[in-house]
Amino acid sequence: MTRIELIAMVSGAACVAGLVLTVVALVGTRRPPGSTPGDAGPGLSRLWNGSGASRADRQRHRFLLGAAVVAGALAFLLTGLPVVGLLVALAIPGVPWLFAVGRAEQRAIARVEAVGEWTRRLKDISATGQGLQQAIIGTIATAPEEIQEEVRTLAARLQAGWLARSALLAFADEIADPVGDQVVAALILHLTDRGERLGDVLGSIAGAASAEVATRREVEAKRTQPRFAVRFLTGMTLATLAYGLVNTDYIRPYGTVTGQLVMAVLGAAFIGLLVWVRSMSQPPRPARFLPAPDPEEAIA
């Protein structure tokens, strides 16, 4: 290998890495339910940390980012084709994103079910005559795992002197589901009128949550076919790329400038098809009706 060829390969690898970093910076790898585009911060912070809310999500994003750059550079060095390197690099964060289709909805369904269970426990404790704040604190030990952190945070805010309304609105914002809004709305109304039918209202909401969970699971089951199509098409694409890396004769016709342009167009069209099929299998986000909490009114 001559020095010119080596410089060309290293330059191509750098171009691939730059393209990968640009794409990941613009679209990220995934966005958890309830988050907004600005949650991860703009610029280099979003590029490095991703849009994950937890530390594990951020570490996973960084690992995928580094793996994408390395894999893209190696693919380019093996084939000498920059578009192949770019496609391989995009596959590193893209494949987990495509294979994870449906997991966010399953997690949302589990959280709705947990909200219903927590509402029943809150009803039982409030029926003993305890005040609302003490009843909420009393549910910490038995709160379902899916929303245990949110319940602990709500209790901590109430104990720290937050206004009950602001603490409840913050809790609903963290749950980020209309079922959670219904529970919080009932609790906020109880703060104003001190009615004696809170238990009946909470019981009705818990029953409605169970019906909502059953409906969502039924709809989720009907989305398995398009999601299987996404995974099947993704697997076929990975097999084709792997064969091309092993047998360079297979991709040799794409070695020209025209061939690279054709490969780029075909790759972009196929990726667009996968994204479109994935979006078809995703349910629309349910509309919420409670406002976000006002930080200036949080502390009494």
- Against a cut of 0.85, is the pTM above it? no
Quote the CA–CA distance of 119 and 196 in Å, as a whole number: 16
Tell me, what's the pLDDT at 38?
A: 40
Tell me, what's the pLDDT at 155?
A: 92
Query: Residue 8: which pLDDT band, with cuts at 50, 70 and 90?
Result: very low
Residue 64 pLDDT exceeds 50: yes
Q: What percent of the chain has pLDDT over 90?
A: 16
What are 172-187's pLDDT values in tens digits? 999 989 998 999 998 9
Residue 11 pLDDT exceeds 70: no
Query: Residue 48: which pLDDT band, with cuts at 50, 70 and 90?
Result: low
Better-scored residue on pLDDT, 165 or 51? 165
Weakest-pLDDT range from 1-10, 77-86, 189-198: 1-10
Rounded average pLDDT over 111-122 = 93
What are 73-102's pLDDT values in tens digits? 888 888 888 888 898 888 888 888 877 777
Rounded average pLDDT over 95-113 = 84
Better-scored residue on pLDDT, 241 or 204? 204
Better-scored residue on pLDDT, 204 or 191? 204
Tell me, what's the pLDDT at 153?
A: 93
Better-scored residue on pLDDT, 169 or 128? 169
Query: Residue 2: which pLDDT band, with cuts at 50, 70 and 90?
Result: low
Rounded average pLDDT over 22-28 = 46
Average pLDDT of the residues of the chain: 78
Rounded average pLDDT over 117-122 = 92
Query: Residue 51: which pLDDT band, with cuts at 50, 70 and 90?
Result: low
Long-range Cβ pairs for the range 148-157 (8 Å, 24+): 150/174, 150/175, 151/118, 157/298
- Domain positions in the chain are 3-101+234-280, 105-221
Query: Residue 195: which pLDDT band, with cuts at 50, 70 and 90?
Result: low
Residue 111 pLDDT exceeds 50: yes
